[in-house]
Structure 1
């Protein structure tokens, strides 16, 4: 019985301290772009110091995911996945910024982080 409890506690501790796989691999280009994007949002959202860091990390995470989608998919499927990714990013920003900030964020996000468009074939 003690062994089972020990194994259970051990497995829980491993999962509790695991990291997001997207952030485990450092990507200097994504980090630089995340800093640039965050700097555009700072005056618009009046981000605090702690919010800036969390916001930048979240933007970087989603930039890495976006790059992966752009590399693996094409056409409408790619656009649908990018749209879904932007929705997830907006939802996760709810944990970082306040309700008034999220309202401003939703208004200015299409200008700062536009979604790609595709050409229709004739």
Structure 2
């Protein structure tokens, strides 16, 4: 009986972990491909370790989903303000994934890789 319970627990563990991952729950193929593209561009500058790359890509996907929600729900200056705040939050959260030196490079290249939109004045 203990062996059966252990076997069921081992087989269910990956499903439980994936169910808690927002990257797999909320993303679609466009978000995944965009997250991979963005991560690849950053990787050229930052030289991620294997685990860092996965964590970075998941974080980028999480923020792409949030960005898409803001772009659908808002317009004008309010949209720009929310997107700017989202960019700042993303940068803060990357601090948990990247080393100090990588963060310095990340902050330098982020405006080129992920520029913030601006509102045109009429």
TM range (shorter): 0.7 to 0.9
8 A Cα contact 1:82 1:115, kept in partner = yes
Distance in 2 separating the partners of 1:26 and 1:115: 21
SS in 2 for 1:120: coil
What runs of 5+ residues in structure 2 fail to find an aligned partner? 1-16
1:45–1:105 CA contact under 8 A, matched in 2: yes
Q: Is the 8 A contact 2:22 2:62 kept in 1?
A: no
Aligned equivalent of 1:50? 51
1:88 and 2:97 equivalent? no
TM-score, with length taken from structure 2? 0.80
Deviation track 1:25-55 (CA, whole Å, cap 9, x = no partner) reads 2311011000000000112001111100000
Instruction: Determine helix, strand or coil for the equivalent of 2:72.
Output: helix
Alignment partner, residue 38 of structure 1: 39
> Structure 1: where are the runs of 5+ without partners?
1-16
Structure 1 partner of 2:66: 65
Q: Which residue of 2 aligns with 1:106?
A: 107
| Number of residue pairs aligned between Structure 1 and Structure 2 | 105
4+ residue runs of structure 1 moved beyond 6 angstroms?
Answer: none
User: Which residue of 2 is the match for residue 97 of structure 1?
Assistant: 98
Q: Is the 8 A contact 1:22 1:65 kept in 2?
A: no
CA RMSD of aligned residues (A): 1.6
